[in-house]
C-alpha cells in the first residue's frame, strides 16, 4: 500500500483539479457577494427580494448540477479508459435533460413570477421586487445549464483551468454591468433591482459564449458534433439513467428542501430572510476550498475506478476525507473569530440585522467542520465511487425527515429566533455523518458504472 504522505502524484493531481475549481467557486461566490453588497444599499426589502427570488435559481441550478455531476461520474470513469466517443454521448444526454428542465423553469418564472414570490413572502413590496427580478433573470436559466454541463465535464477530464478563466470573465462582466445598471453610472439608466438581473443575464451570455468557443475552437474530447452527442441506444440510456437519476433526484429534492428552509426563515420575518441571504453569501465564500476538494475527490476516485485501480481509489477517498475534516475545523475557527470583521463589509446594516447575522454566523462556525466532511463524503467519495443511490437516500432522509420538519417546528410552532432554527436545521448534518461513515468503512460504495457500456 502506498504512503500517500509521500505520493507526489496524488497531490499534484489534487492541486491541478482542486485549485482551479476553488478559484472558480471563489469567483462565482464573489459575484453573489458583489450583488448582495450592492443591493444592501437599496434596503432590506430589495435584499430579501433578491435572496428569495434567487431560491428559484438555486433550485434550478442545483438540479442542473445534479445532472452535470451525475454525468461526470461516467465522464471521469470513461476518461480513465480514454474513451472519447462515450464521453461525447454522455455530454449530449446531459445537455438534453438540462435543457428540458431549463425550459420548464424559464416558462414558470417568466409568466407567474408573482405567484412564485408569494410562496416565499407575504410582504407585498418583497413580492413585487422579486417578480421584477425573476422576469429578467429567467432568460439566463437555459444558458446557465449549458455552461454548467461543459464546465463540469471539463473538470471531469482534469481540465479545470478553462472553467476558472471563464468565471473570471463572467465575474468582471457581472460586476461592471451591475454597478452601471443598479446605480445608473456612465450614462446607463438607474434600474435598481432590475439592473442586478440584467447584469446577471449579460454575464451568463458572455460566460456561455466563451465556454463554447474554448470547447469547439479545437478538437478536444468534449467537442462533439450533434450526431456524436445523440448517438444513444436503449441500453446506453438505461445504464445512464440508472446511475444518474439518484443524483438528479437527490440534488432536486435537496435544493427543494433548502427552498423550504428559506420559506421557514421568511416566516420569522423580512429581517430574518435578509440575514439568511447575508449568511448564505458568506457561507459560499468559506465553502469554496471545500468544494474544490470534494470535486477533485470525485474526479480522482472516478478515474481510478474506471482504470480498474479500486484499491488506489479507496486510499484516495480516505485521504480526501481526512483532509476535509482538518480543513473544515480550520475554516470554522476562522469564521468564528472573523465574523465581526466580515459583517463590517456589508454597509448600511441596521443594528438589528447586524446582530441577527452575527448569531447566524456563530451557529454556522460551530457546524462548519461537519458540513465540509459530509460534502466530501457524499459528493466526492460516494458519488465519485458510483454509489449514487445510497448517497441519495442518505441526503433525502436527513433533509426531509430531520431538517425540514425541525425548521418549520422551530419557526412556526415554537416561534424560535432564526439562529435557533438554523441550529435545528444543522442536526441533519450530524445524521448524515452517523449513517455515512459505516458505508465508507464497508467499501460497498466502490462501483464501476461503465462496465459493458458501448
Cβ-contact 331, 289 below 8 angstroms: yes
Instruction: State pTM to two decimals.
Output: 0.75
- Contact (Cβ atoms closer than 8 angstroms) between residue 25 and residue 287: yes
Q: Look at 54-63, 138-147, 209-218, 324-333 and tell me which has the smallest mean pLDDT.
A: 54-63
Q: What is the length of the chain?
A: 454
Most distant CA pair in the chain, distance: 65
In this structure, the dihedral spanned by the alpha carbons of residues 337, 357, 279 and 199, taken in order and rounded to 10 degrees, is -120
Q: Assess whether pLDDT exceeds 80 at residue 265.
A: yes
- 79: which 3 cell numbers? 476518461
Q: Cell numbers at residue 99, please?
A: 435543457
Alpha carbon distance 287, 279 (integer Å):
12
The distance from CA 152 to its chain's CA centroid, rounded to whole angstroms, is: 11
- Give residues with Cβ within 8 angstroms of 310, minimum separation 6: 304, 446, 448
Lowest mean pLDDT among 31-40, 176-185, 334-343, 414-423: 31-40
Task: Locate 25 and state its grid cell.
Answer: 467557486
DSSP string, 200-260: HHHHHHHHHHHHHHHHHTTT-TT---HHHHT---HHHHHHHHHHHHHHHHHHHHHHHHHHH
pLDDT in tens, 195-243: 989 998 999 999 999 999 999 998 888 988 899 999 898 888 988 888 8
pLDDT, residue 1, reads 45
Amino acid at each position: 500500500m502506498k504512503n500517500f504522505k509521500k505520493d507526489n502524484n496524488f497531490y499534484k493531481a489534487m492541486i491541478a483539479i482542486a485549485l482551479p475549481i476553488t478559484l472558480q467557486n471563489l469567483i462565482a461566490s464573489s459575484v453573489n457577494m458583489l450583488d448582495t453588497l450592492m443591493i444592501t444599499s437599496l434596503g432590506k426589502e430589495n435584499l430579501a427580494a433578491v435572496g428569495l427570488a434567487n431560491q428559484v435559481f438555486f433550485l434550478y441550478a442545483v438540479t442542473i448540477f445534479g445532472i452535470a455531476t451525475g454525468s461526470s461520474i461516467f465522464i471521469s470513469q470513461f476518461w480513465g479508459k480514454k474513451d472519447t466517443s462515450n464521453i461525447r454521448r454522455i455530454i449530449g444526454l446531459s445537455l438534453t435533460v438540462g435543457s428540458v428542465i431549463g425550459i420548464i423553469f424559464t416558462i414558470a418564472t417568466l409568466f407567474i413570477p408573482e405567484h412564485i414570490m408569494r410562496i416565499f413572502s407575504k410582504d407585498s413590496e418583497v413580492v413585487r421586487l422579486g417578480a421584477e427580478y425573476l422576469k429578467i433573470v429567467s432568460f439566463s436559466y437555459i444558458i446557465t445549464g449549458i455552461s454548467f454541463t461543459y464546465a463540469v465535464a471539463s473538470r471531469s477530464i482534469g481540465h479545470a483551468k478553462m472553467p476558472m478563466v471563464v468565471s473570471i470573465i463572467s465575474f468582471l462582466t457581472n460586476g461592471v454591468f451591475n454597478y452601471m445598471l443598479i446605480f445608473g453610472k456612465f450614462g446607463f439608466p438607474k434600474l435598481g433591482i432590475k439592473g442586478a438581473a440584467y447584469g446577471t443575464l449579460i454575464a451568463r451570455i458572455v460566460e456561455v459564449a466563451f465556454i463554447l468557443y474554448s470547447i469547439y475552437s479545437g478538437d478536444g474530447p468534449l467537442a462533439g458534433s450533434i450526431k456524436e452527442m445523440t448517438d444513444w441506444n436503449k441500453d446506453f440510456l438505461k445504464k445512464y439513467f440508472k446511475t444518474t437519476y439518484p443524483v438528479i433526484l437527490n440534488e432536486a429534492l435537496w435544493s427543494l428542501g433548502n427552498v423550504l428552509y428559506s420559506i421557514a426563515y421568511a416566516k420569522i420575518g423580512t429581517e430574518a430572510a435578509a440575514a439568511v441571504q447575508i449568511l448564505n453569501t458568506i457561507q459560499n465564500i468559506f465553502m469554496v476550498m471545500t468544494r474544490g476538494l470534494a470535486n477533485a475527490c470525485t474526479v480522482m476516485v472516478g478515474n481510478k475506478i474506471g482504470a480498474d485501480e479500486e484499491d488506489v481509489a479507496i486510499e484516495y477517498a480516505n485521504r480526501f476525507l481526512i483532509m476535509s475534516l482538518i480543513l473544515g475545523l480550520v475554516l470554522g475557527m476562522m469564521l468564528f473569530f472573523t465574523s465581526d470583521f466580515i459583517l463590517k463589509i456589508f454597509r448600511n446594516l441596521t443594528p438589528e440585522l447586524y446582530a441577527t447575522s452575527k448569531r447566524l454566523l456563530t451557529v454556522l462556525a460551530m457546524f462548519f467542520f461537519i458540513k465540509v466532511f459530509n460534502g466530501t463524503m457524499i459528493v466526492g467519495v460516494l458519488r465519485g465511487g458510483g454509489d449514487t443511490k445510497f448517497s441519495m437516500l442518505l441526503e433525502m432522509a436527513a433533509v426531509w425527515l430531520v431538517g425540514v420538519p425541525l425548521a418549520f417546528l422551530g419557526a412556526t410552532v415554537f416561534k424560535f429566533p432564526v439562529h435557533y432554527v438554523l441550529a435545528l436545521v444543522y442536526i441533519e448534518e450530524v445524521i448524515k455523518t452517523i449513517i455515512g461513515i459505516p458505508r465508507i468503512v464497508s467499501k460497498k460504495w466502490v462501483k464501476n458504472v461503465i462496465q459493458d457500456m458501448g
